[in-house]
Structure 1
Amino acid sequence: SILPMAIALRRRLRREGFDLVHACERASLIAAKLALGRCNIPVCVTVHGSETLRWQTSSVVRWMDPRLYRSARAIVANSVYTSEQLSVMLDLGGVMESPPQKAILLAVGDWWVQHSGVGLNRKNRGSPFVLGTLGRLDARKGHREVLQACGQLPEHLRRHLTYLVIGAGSNQCVDMLSKEAAEAGVGFEYAGAPDRPELPSLIRRMDAHVLYAKPVRHTIEGFGLVVLEVATQGVPTLATRLGGIPEVIANNETGVLVEPGNSKALTEAIRHLMETPELVAALGREARHRASSRRWTDVARETYNFFGESIAIR
């Protein structure tokens, strides 16, 4: 996909004039460099969490990526965590000068704000407590660890708990989670990978969202945009204190953070949320307010102001 992207950009460069090329991730940066060649148009880039860890995968990438990113005129990282990891990677580039960089937190899309709402379960306290995870069935998301933690809850709580999973996954993964939910003694529902218009109503079925993220094969949650998406529906997130997630969740204000790898802490946090519905409602209200207060227009303004300032001083 990099070569077609580079060819398309090269054609546009011949037809139109550009003052700046903004690459939205690593592949786009490579394509931009191929398309521009010796052309003097500045290239800036936005970097995401796992991209800063790719250098650990092979000696070739370890040599190439620091030089690739150092060739940009300015870099925006999607979180402070990503910016810190980027600095580690750039230090591998030797004596080459590093470009200016800045952490600019992302925002939830306007579509989510326009379709915001309030969780449905809090309107009917007789219904089961629904704990949900929105995201593809990936080991990095910690679905199995969530079920294991649920299995350690007291029996009277497990009887009234349903784990709702929304996201693309293989039949094998779904069957495995269904089996583990049965062994844990909790309800399980898989909603598949629905189209976006269906997501708000599904999310509102949750009392709380859980993202028990963990690093897997040089990938990590560099920001956690899903936390903001569910927050627009008045649903707080219980998550691990990992990567850029703590920059999205204010602990005990918009959600709850636990240490990664601490199953007992996860179980205790789930128990506490189940037993204090007033806390869940308060966390959801504040999460919704904060998620809706920052928009993509804010991100764009901050990003291009920084790019413009960086280009002007070089």
Structure 2
Amino acid sequence: MLILQNTSKQSPLPPIPKTRSLFILTHEFHPQKGGIATFTEEMALSCSQQGFKVEVWAPGNGGKPSDKPWPFKVRRLDMKGTQDIPCLVTTGKEIIENRRDLRQASVYLPEPGPISAMLYLQLFHAFHPDKLYLTFHGSEILNYYAKLHHRVLLKKLIAKAERISAVSTFTHRLLLSRFPEAQHKTVLTPCALRSDFVGTNHRKIENSEKVVILTVGRLHPRKGQSFILKTLNLLPENLKAKVEFWMVGNGRHSDYQRELQSLVDQSEVTVKMLGQLDDTRLREVYEQADIFAMTSIHYKKSIEGFGLVYLEASAYGLPVIAHNIGGVPDAVVHDRTGLLVPPGDKQALVQAFIDLIEKPELRKKLGEAGRLWVSKYRWDKSVDMLFRRKELVILS
């Protein structure tokens, strides 16, 4: 059974009273980059816009004032924002010290960091929030299930939750396969474009000499940049001369970075490693690209739960090439907004690149469809499903 968003027309819901307090606890928040940080920030913004009295507990930002005018309170905690023990302890101490306030409020744990802290805090009867909400992204489900004590504790936490959300149909199925207790209280809350996202109607001139293939993401084995580099070397010789591959992102995985550099040095196509870019420069790079590609894989217990970057690429009018894996099919529709390839099928991946390099009309068709596709994802819909709807929409 899948619990999905109801797409039928419904009458507007009454506004939420301003007195309804919502504490959002997170280890990933602005100015941190990444899908989970964006998800948490945008859910907080949308909750605030829909009438919640929001307070976010987030990692410190080096004592610097935030460069964003938040419409809600942000309490910066003395932690770096990881899932290591010191961060869990810091979150736990804050919860205990503020337990009286939290008892009268709703508490939302939008990612694995605070969920891990709450696994143990729930054993103390002194802390019970009025309502508890959880969101799962993918990889953490496998990690919790792998250890018996985490598995038992998460089942208890799920039982106490008012409602739970998953960011994709894949994550939803994964959650129910490991923790079926969540079945009757889980909804979908997919990612959407950032509220400050600035797209463009400008598209690169199609008769440009070079076809620019762009990838944006952490330099990490799960993101699969190495597959693209290897695949481009298998293109016909006439296409190799026509292609440029641009990589945006940085990483801490030194072995993988050395592998990428070795592949770049051996590459028969032009490769530009652009590093981490600010939003203005990234927008310029998107505008110069012809194709977006990110061939994610499952790496150990790390999986692609959704992939917000695919939506961003589609919003810029770029056709997408990706692996048909994890939550990617929720963001990329095969033969409509991009081309999905089974992981490990080298020939299919080569052919996908050939098709989009040689067929500008296909690039245009998929790119234009992508612009329309991303508009279906909205943060207010996700907030509505998680916090406001009394009924669950259950479909076979």
- Name the TM-score class by shorter chain: 0.7 to 0.9
Offset of 1:184 from its aligned partner? 3.6
CA apart distance, 1:56 = 5.2
Give the one of 45, 48, 70 matched to 2:137.
Answer: 48
Match of residue 92 from structure 2: 6
- Is 2:344 aligned against 1:261? yes
Q: How does 1:9-20 map to 2 (within 5 A)?
A: 9-15=95-101, 18-20=104-106
Cα offset, 1:264, TM superposition: 0.6
CA drift of 1:97 comes to 7.8
Measure the CA separation in 2 of the matches of 1:15 and 1:21.
10
- Aligned pair count reads 302
Q: Which residue of 1 aligns with 2:220?
A: 138
Given that residues 119 and 235 in structure 1 are in contact (C-alpha distance below 8 angstroms), is that contact kept between their aligned partners in structure 2? no
In the TM superposition, 1:169-208 aligns within 5 A as 169=251, 173-174=256-257, 176-208=259-291
* Structure 2 counterpart SS, 1:191: strand
Deviations 1:66-109 (A, max 9, x none): 44434322211111111110011114xxxx78651122322111
Question: Partners of 2:102 and 2:182 in 1: how far apart?
Answer: 31
Give the 3-state SS of the residue equivalent to 2:288 in structure 1: coil
Equivalent-residue separation in structure 1 for 2:132 and 2:103 (angstroms): 14
Gaps of 5+ in 1: none
Do the aligned partners of 2:145 and 2:178 also contact (CA within 8 Å) in 1? no
Alignment-derived partner of residue 21 in structure 1 = 107
Q: Deviations over 1:290-312 (max 9, x none)?
A: 21343222222222124x558xx
- Indicate the residue corresponding to 1:217 in structure 2: 300
Q: Is the 8 A contact 1:133 1:209 kept in 2?
A: yes
Where does residue 84 of structure 1 map in the other structure? 173
Secondary structure of 1:216's counterpart equals coil
Q: From the superposition, tell whether residues 172 and 2 of structure 1 become closer, same or farther in structure 2 (CA, over 3 Å).
A: closer
Letter in 1 for 2:322: A
Q: CA RMSD in A?
A: 2.5
Letter of the 1:265 counterpart: A
SS in 1 for 2:196: helix
1:147 aligns with 2:229: yes
Contact kept, 8 Å, 1:73 with 1:99, in 2: the verdict is no
Question: How far apart are residue 215 of structure 1 and its match?
Answer: 0.5
Q: Show the counterpart of 2:36.
A: none
Contact kept? 2:233, 2:268, Cα under 8 Å:
yes
Distance in 1 (CA, whole Å) between partners of 2:201 and 2:272 is 21
Q: Retained in 1: the 8 A contact 2:103–2:128?
A: no
More moved, 67-76 vs 203-212: 67-76
Report what 1:292 is aligned to.
375
Q: How far, CA to CA, are the matches of 1:215 and 1:2 in structure 2?
A: 26
How many Å separate the matches in 2 of 1:106 and 1:285? 20
TM-score (norm 2): 0.69
Cα offset, 1:203, TM superposition: 1.8
Task: Check 1:37–1:109 CA distance in 2 against 1; reply closer, same or farther (3 A cut).
Answer: farther
- 1:105-124 residue CA offsets vs partner (Å, 9 max, x unmatched): 22111122xx101464x315
Partners of 2:182 and 2:328 lie apart in 1 by 30
Taking structure 1 as the reference length, the TM-score comes to 0.86
Contact 1:118/1:204 (8 A) holds in 2: no
Q: In the alignment, is residue 237 of structure 1 matched against residue 320 of structure 2?
A: yes
What is the deviation of 1:16?
A: 7.0
- 3-state SS of 2:275 partner: coil
Give 4+ residue runs of structure 1 displaced > 6 Å after superposition.
none
For 1:246 and 1:74, how far apart are their aligned partners in 2?
Answer: 25
- Deviation string for 1:150-190 (max 9, x for gaps)? 11110010011111111113576555434324434111001
**Alignment partners' CA distance in 1, 2:262 and 2:178:** 41
Higher helix share: 1
Does the aligned pair in 1 maintain the 2:221–2:256 contact within 8 Å?
Answer: no
Question: CA, structure 1 residues 172+244, in 2 after alignment: closer, same or farther (shift >3 Å)?
Answer: closer
Contact 2:107 2:129 in 1 (8 A): no
* More deviation, 157-166/51-60: 51-60
Give the one of 143, 157, 169 matched to 2:239. 157
Q: Per-residue CA shift, 1:247-300, capped at 9, x if unaligned? A: 111111111111111011000000000000111122112212221343222222
* Counterparts of 2:91 and 2:294, CA distance in 1: 33
Cα distance change of structure 1 residues 43 and 104 upon mapping to structure 2, 3 Å threshold: same
SS in 2 for 1:204: helix
- C-alpha distance 39-55 of structure 1, shift in aligned 2 (>3 A): closer
Match of 1:71 among 136, 160, 164: 160
Which residue does the alignment assign to 2:334? 251
SS in 1 for 2:297: coil
